[in-house]
Amino acid sequence: MRAAAAIGALLLATATVVHAQVIGVSPLSFLFGESPSYVLAEGALGALTARVVCDYRMVPADRETEAQLTVHLSDAAGQPVAHRMLALLFAQGDGQLMPVQPVTDGEGIAEFTYRAGRLAITNRFDLIDVSTGSTLEVVLPTSLVAEVSIELISPADYARRVASASVRPDIFNLELTAFPEALPADEVSCSRLTAHLTYKDGRPAAGFPVSFRIVSGYGGVTQEQKLTDADGVISGFYRVGNRIGTVIVEAVEQTTGKRASVEIVVVEAGPAKLKLWLEDDGGGVFAERAVMPADGVATMMVVAQVLSLVDTPIAGARVQFKLVNELGRLEVMEAETDGSGCIHALYTAGAFTGTEQIIAYLISG
């Protein structure tokens, strides 16, 4: 009986759960249901009184749900105040605020829309009377919400599934790697995902479906190959988003549910590497040192290249050069790095012998 119960629990965990996902509006949930009269804030806005209501008690942090924020503005006598420009700005939080009707109408009403972000945090807004600068703090909580469904099947079908689950062996090993494992948050850079599926005895498991998905973090996954090749390998790509942090990507073998995961660190986007080399007229490239005649006319090109953490060229960066011993002169050819991340300067030798040192600086800001 214990074995049957354990198999039944396994079946419920693997076969009967048909979906689990972050959802938007959930009218069956009291916590997240609509409530047009839910008051977020009420108090003085300078000499006036403002009441802010929302159509959600709490907004699901799903990056999709839009909550309507309605402001009722009245004077000391309780009468509506019309034609007043109001602004609603983030003090802290995540998501977007959009003015729908920022000027109060004849009933003293102004309207704004809040679109949820991905972070389940408490948002704090400042309601501002533009004409006086008076402010009122508005607090709107958000939270993660998930939904799960259970498939109810006939007892006979359930028994067949239990029997199938009890005899299916754990036949695979699955490994997942990502290269590189660190990316800049530039919405462009990619990491190659490689999953390796083998049988327990080490033989490649060819022709099995493996899919990639993001378990935690931001970005996207693309995958053209659907089945493992002759070596048991399947690949895809993770494309980075615009937020820093740790992203967890998972590979799932679809027939057995075997899983493996890998972490990718997303760091601040922008210049991370500065390379410098010399080029002569004959096509020679000198990474550290070159020799020139001290004749006052010989020239050599100085090239600086700005790259991201994963060697993506950074265009539009500003680089400054310095001649340490001033044994010659330097003419910078461009104001900013080009599409290949390069900026060029022409060095002309001086008439005195010695060793010149050229230094390149990346100018921030």
Alpha carbons 163 and 256: distance in angstroms, whole number: 15
Q: Which pLDDT belongs to residue 162?
A: 67
Spell out a b/e string for 188-212, using b for 16 or more CB atoms within 10 Å of the CB, else e: ebbbebebbbbeeeeeebeebebeb
Check residue 22 and give its pLDDT: 34
pLDDT digits (tens, 9 = 90+) for 93-134: 888 999 999 999 999 999 999 998 877 778 899 999 999 999
List the alpha helices (DSSP H) in the chain.
2-14, 155-167
Find all residues with CB under 8 Å of 292, minimum gap 6, and list them. 298, 300, 349
Tell me the pLDDT tens digit for each residue of 251-310: 999 888 899 999 998 887 677 788 999 998 888 889 888 888 999 999 999 999 988 777
Q: What percent of the residues of the chain are helix, what percent strand, and what percent coil, each to the nearest 5?
A: 5, 50, 40
Closest to 62 (Cα-Cα) out of 147, 131, 153? 147
Please report, as a single letter, which amino acid is at residue 356.
E
Ranges under pLDDT 50 in the chain: 1-34, 167
Fold type of domain 273-363: Immunoglobulin-like (2.60.40)
CA distance 21 to 41: 31
Q: What is the DSSP letter of 209?
A: B
Q: 34-143 with 273-363: one CATH topology?
A: yes
Total residues belonging to the chain: 365
In the prediction, which pLDDT does 166 show? 53
Core vs surface per residue 300-322: b (16+ CB within 10 A) or e: bebbbbbbbbbebebeebebebe
Closest CA to 118 of 252, 242, 268, 260: 242
CATH architecture for residues 34-143? Sandwich (2.60)
What's the pTM value of the predicted model, to 2 decimals?
A: 0.41
CATH topology of domain 169-267: Immunoglobulin-like (2.60.40)
Contacts of 340 (CB under 8 A, 6+ apart): 305, 313, 315
Tell me, what's the pLDDT at 130? 94
The ranges assigned to domains in the chain are 34-143, 169-267, 273-363
Average pLDDT, the chain: 84
The DSSP output letter for 364 is P
